[in-house]
Structure 1
Amino acid sequence: MNRAEWKQLLLVLLVGGVIRLGLALGVEWVLSGQPDRFFLVPGDAEGYWDLAGDLLTGADYEVYGRYVLRMPGFPAILAVARWLGHDQRLVVRLVLIAVSLAGIGGVYQLGRVLYSHAVGILAATYVAISPLLAGFGVLILSEGAFATALVWALVAMACWLKAMELPGWSRAIIVWAMISGLFSTAAILMRPTWFACAGLIPAAAVVCAIISAREHRLQLLLKSGLSAVVMGGTILLLLLPWALRNQAVSGKFTFTTLWVGASLYDGLHAGATGDSDMTFFETDGVANRLQEREVDEEYRRRAWAFVAQHPSRTFELAIIKQIRYWNLVPNYPEFRHWWILIPVGLSTTWLYAGIFFELIRTSRHWRALLFCGMPVLVFAGIHLLFVGSMRYRLPAELPMAVLAASGWIAVSGKYFSNKLDAQPDGALLAKNGQEETPC
């Protein structure tokens, strides 16, 4: 990056930081007028806050009497923020803003690796000013931290693939495989849904690379096999302490949580509407009769039994969930205000339109489509079963912004106005007679 590019990125980060700071102050102002209300969005936020307190005090890591309910990644960030700010919410929000800004930087780098500086800076600008992404960046919810972790995992995977496609063997292949595993582990510790992407995206990238390669296919296959061992081994090794801890407290060895069953049943039962309503968990008394792992198994059994007995309703619910997932504006009535709907609707329309423009281009770049499009599709597939909401799509909007930025630049004609910007897929950039790679 030259000095001018650094200045542009810093300006985008500054704008994103100012917007988020204003929102953080606004949230605290709203809460200051409601002394009995500690969080803007209660429920999940309360649970995360309590778990962070457990980490700070050394108490049992549990909430609502359940020990394997939440992954420890986001509570760990909150614990550090609470320690730094002596439990002041504004300081906690400032730490979350810093995490969110790291995500903006990750979007820029992903766009630069896959396309060019121009695409990266436009995508980062969208993420910086997007109303929903900015708003969730200051709330005590895991979406912002998860988005940051996943976008940097994608950057590492993209650099790993670039190293793999170079002829011969290089230490960079192993290094980037390990870094991909590190960031993927961070994302899984925020949200276990990244487990699917951590396996599917590299596998699909290797298949596409082998198909498109004209030579050295056997070498590419061997390098990908070694990389898979390194990347997967890194993830499993780093998650092993959590899995062993879960075995000790619940009697079940699991790398994720024991909340999958209840979440699945939330989306698949006779009273399901596509929206989340966990009141059944408190009213049916299952948790009072069974151990935590047994509760998870019982709700899984009930959910799959519903699918077997009501396939047409299951299909109908899947459509409803997808409508909620891909919606242009928030689904919840409390957000149905014109001053929310208009900016959110416009920003989502910009995102979708840009992706459409990118998809209809004659020179589509499969690496960018894979790395930037697969997360949102994987999440969409998961939420065919679980409840649907655009909230679950938001973390995937960071890589989606890269595709949208490329599409808009192409449509505007600016993409072809500069030879540097016309080089796709992170092509080597020539500067002062030297070659430089974004990785």
Structure 2
Amino acid sequence: MPESKRPKYLLILILLISALIRCGLAVYVQRQLDQQPERTYVIEGDADGYWRLAQTIVHGEEYSIYTPPRRVLRMPGFPLVLAGAMSVVGEDHFRVRLVLALSGMVACYLVYLLGKELTNETTGLIAAGLTAVSPVMAGFSILFLSETIFAIAMLISLWVLVRLWNINWGDNDRLRGSLWSALAGVTLAAAFYVRPSWLLILPIVVVLMFWGAKGHRVRALERAAVLILGFIVTLVPWVYRNFQVTGHFVPTTLWAGPSLYDGLNPQATGDSDMTFFDRDRVMLRMSEYEMNRYYTQQAVEYARQHPGHVVELMGAKLLRYWKPWPNAPQFRSLWMMAAVSVVFLPVLLLAVYGAWISRQQVLLLLITVGPILYFSLIHLVFVSSLRYRLPAEYSLYILSAVGLTAIFGTAFNKEKINS
């Protein structure tokens, strides 16, 4: 086989393996659920909410669920994806799972693209291969949860940011820089539409843009302005819609307050336990906006009065975030814990080694390590779990591939990482 065609065929093979694993899991999970009539979803609460929101979109109904109606409960990104799948294959759980399985294959391809852009094709292929066989990534891709779709949106935004970073600051590239800046703003907003905790990445990117300008502050200002404009314009429909239904400026959702209180309250353990919401029934006397503000105030006040417990909770949340095996009781079987740990621990160690040998390559470290550290810090405040780490593992696998290539360089094509 010609040398130039090998990467192409290897990539196709990796993507086929990825699709087969995920489709097989979709069949297995659906059969397991069909044998348990009392269960509809693997993870009930969130999955049911996303599914019902998607149905409101398909049926042209108001984007809300529950009574009293929750109109700004979830960002619309993932429900829109589910609604698109329902429009094509119908409102059948199994068929929609198969569509989501293919989205997991797309995530593998994006890992390849990002790895190739950051380093070289060999690293991109290895990172995609690791992603394809990851049991957690494969398992979550066929659940009615937003992790894989957010990973896709995040990987696209990271790839665009890498392309933008590599554009020269000179006059000849001024238009190209502006176009890629606008695209960066749009893709960052697209990821934000799936998971609102991605919002803080915007100011971080702007700061890094000025830091990397090195004497081109005016150009950096131009690109930052275009990027922010692209983000804002993309977000306008959601903000306008929220103002129409609540009468308030709401750029994210009105579930942030309860989520914050979930992580900061007298009974908090670091795990999610939303029973307080059903117990308090505050929406019987408050609007959705008032409810969100009420729980935000309650969480802030508790944190102010109990700093010791907050520090204790931060430790528990950090442990839950980085634990090699799942935290949820339904995933605590020995074989599942072993399967997840056997993959994650070597990948993490390889990533640490990859980070060490790449310690001079700032962009590579920002893109691969940055997201997983970012969410680790976010979930020192909110509740924490492997679920919140998972999307950031996709880009981390690129660094694992760097470490693997360095160790077994003779087994792979010895391509040097681009400086």
Give the alignment's TM-score, normalised by structure 1: 0.91
Matching of residues 215-254 of structure 1 within 5 Å: 217-219=214-216, 221-254=217-250
Cα pair 2:122 2:413 within 8 Å, conserved = no
**Are the counterparts in 1 of residues 358 and 365 from structure 2 also a CA contact under 8 Å?**
no
Deviation at 1:98, TM superposition (A): 2.2
SS in 1 for 2:167: helix
- C-alpha displacement at 1:271, in angstroms? 0.6
2:5 maps to what in 1?
3
The reply to whether residue 377 of structure 1 matches residue 361 of structure 2 is no
CA distance in 1, matches of 2:363, 2:327: 32
> What do residues 218-260 of structure 1 show as CA deviations (whole Å, max 9, x unaligned)?
33x2222111111111111111111011111112211110111
* Cα distance in 1 for residues equivalent to 2:276 and 2:83: 30
Change over 3 Å in CA distance of 1:415–1:198 after alignment to 2: farther
Q: CA deviation at 1:363?
A: 5.4
Choose 56-65 or 157-166, whichever is displaced more: 157-166
Q: Distance in 2 between matches of 1:143 and 1:20?
A: 15
What is the CA distance between 1:415 and its match in structure 2?
Answer: 9.0
Are 1:422 and 2:416 counterparts? yes
Equivalent AA in structure 2 for residue 18 of structure 1: L
Match for residue 264 of structure 1?
Answer: 260
Contact 1:136 1:143 in 2 (8 A): yes
Q: Percent of counterpart pairs with the same letter?
A: 36
| Residue 35 of structure 1, CA deviation | 2.7
Q: 1:37 is paired with a residue of what secondary structure? A: coil
**Which letter maps to 2:94?**
L
Say whether residues 1:276 and 2:272 are aligned partners.
Answer: yes
Deviation at 1:36, TM superposition (A): 3.4
Q: 1:430 is matched with which residue?
A: none
Is 2:115 the partner of 1:111? yes
Deviates more, 1:354-363 or 1:329-338: 354-363
| 242-251 vs 91-100, greater mean Cα deviation | 91-100
Structure 2 counterpart of 1:162: 166
CA contact (8 A) 1:265 1:303 kept: yes
User: Could you say what the CA RMSD is over the residues aligned between the two structures, in angstroms?
Assistant: 1.7
2-side partners of 1:14 and 1:417: how far apart? Answer: 22
The range that moved more, 197-206 or 378-387, is: 197-206
1:306 maps to: 302
Displacement of 1:202: 4.8
Aligned to 1:406: 402
Aligned counterparts of 1:106 and 1:251: Cα–Cα separation in 2? 39
Q: CA deviation at 1:76?
A: 0.5
Aligned match of 1:285: 281
Q: CA deviation at 1:91?
A: 1.7
Give yes or no for contact 1:144–1:395 (8 Å, CA) kept in 2: yes
Query: What is the identity, as a one-letter code, of the residue corresponding to 2:31?
Result: W
Between 1:270-279 and 1:246-255, the stretch displaced more is 246-255
1:166–1:326 distance in 2 versus 1, CA, 3 Å: farther
Identify if the C-alpha distance between structure 1 residues 417 and 363 changes in structure 2 by more than 3 Å, giving closer, same or farther.
farther
Counterparts of 1:8 and 1:205 in 2: how far apart (Å)? 35
* Aligned residue pair count: 415
Specify every segment of 5 or more residues in structure 2 that has no aligned partner in the other structure, as ranges.
none
Q: Which moved more, 1:384-393 or 1:36-45?
A: 36-45
CA 1:369–1:202: 2 relative to 1, 3 Å: farther
Which digits, 9 at most, give the CA deviation of each residue in 1:90-122, with x for residues without a partner?
221122122222211111111111111111111
CA apart distance, 1:360: 2.3
Q: In structure 2, what is the equivalent of residue 88 of structure 1?
A: 92
1:290–1:363 Cα change, 3 Å: closer
**Cross-structure match for 2:64:** 62
